[in-house]
Amino acid sequence: MRLMSKAAVLIGGAVMLSLGAAGAQEEAEGDNWEDKPYIIEDGKVDYGVYNGFRRYHNTCHTCHGPDAMGSTFAPALVESLKDMSYADFTETVVNGRQSSGAGGSTSVMPSFGENPDVMLYIDHIYAYLKARADGEVARGRPERLDPENDPVFQEYQESQ
């Protein structure tokens, strides 16, 4: 669980509950997981991206909009994740963020550091958003890879 320790250092004292699988994929592919945290074959996505889609649309989309397209009061993560590092992403999700502008346009993102529905799946949500930002996943519900050909799913199952 390399990612786990990485995130834990970033977060400092914040509570970390646990973390879904993602590490094996990085090693299996030899790429930098943070840059390309997904496997997509013939338009079908790995379990991480798929579950990230679900979990994003459970918690995040009420502000950041369907398909990470943004809303009248929160930025489009399909854009934000083009420049945002994994470290900045987890830091923001765990600790929240606040900004103020004129006319009462204060924007506040809460801390999700203690929310298991987010923290258990933060790598999945990251993978989904990164795939969206990279233009690799279209809007709507992505189609899953066959579980037998999905190392991310297999690792996730083993971790449960």
Partner 1 sequence: MHKNANATKGMEEMDKITLRAACSVFALAVAAPTAAYANDELIEMQSDPKNWVMQLGNYSATRYSELEEINADNVGDLQVAWTFSTGVLRGHEGGPLVIDGVMYVHTPFPNKVFALDLNDSGRIIWSYEPQQDPNVIPVMCCDTVNRGVAYGDGKIILHQADTNVVALDAETGEELWKVANGDPSKGETGTMSPLIAGDKVLVGNSGGEFGVQGHMTAYNLETGEQEWRAYSVGPDDQILLDPQETTHLGEPVGENSSVDTWEGDQWQLGGGTVWGWVSYDPELNLVYYGSGNPGTWNPSQRPGDNKWSMTIFARDLDTGMAKWVYQMTPHDEWDYDGVNENMLVDIEIDGEERKVLVHPDRNGFAYTLDRETGELLVAEKYDPAVNWATEVVMDPESEEYGRPQVVAEYSTEQNGVDVNSEGICPAALGTKDQQPSSFSPETGLFYIPTNHVCMDYEPFQVSYTAGQPYVGATLSMYPAPDSHGGMGNFIAWDAAAGEIVWSKEEPFSVWSGALATAGDIVFYGTLEGYLKAVDMESGEELYRFKTPSGIIGNVTTYEHEGKQYIAVLSGIGGWAGIGLAAGLTEGTDGLGAVGAYASLSDYTQLGGQLTVFALPGEAGGASDMDAGAEEDSDE
Question: Given the rule CB under 8 A, which residues bind partner 1?
Answer: 43, 53-54, 57-59, 61-63, 65-67, 69-73, 76, 96, 98, 100, 103-110, 112, 114-118, 138-141, 143
By beta-carbon proximity to partner 1, the closer residue of 28 and 96 is 96
Place of tokens 């930002």: 133
| Smallest separation, CB 66 to partner 1 (Å) | 4
CB 120 to partner 1: min, Å: 8
**Contact (CB, 8 A) for 107 and 56:** no
Task: Produce one character per residue of 22-61: b if its CB has 16 or more CB atoms within 10 Å, e if not.
Answer: bbbbbeeeeeebbebbbbbeeebbbbbbbbbbebbbebbb
The rounded distance, in Å, linking the Cα atoms of 43 and 143 is: 7
Contacts of 15 (CB under 8 A, 6+ apart): 113, 114
Least separation in angstroms between residue 115's CB and partner 1 is 4
Length, in residues, of the chain = 160
CB nearer partner 1, residue 105 or residue 158: 105
* C-alpha span between 7 and 140 (Å, rounded): 29
Smaller CB separation from partner 1, 65 or 151: 65
Distance in Å, CB of 27 to partner 1, minimum: 28
Q: Which is nearer to partner 1, 52 or 151 (CB)?
A: 52
Which residue's CB is nearer to partner 1, number 72 or number 158?
72
Compute the least distance from the CB of residue 148 to partner 1, in Å.
18
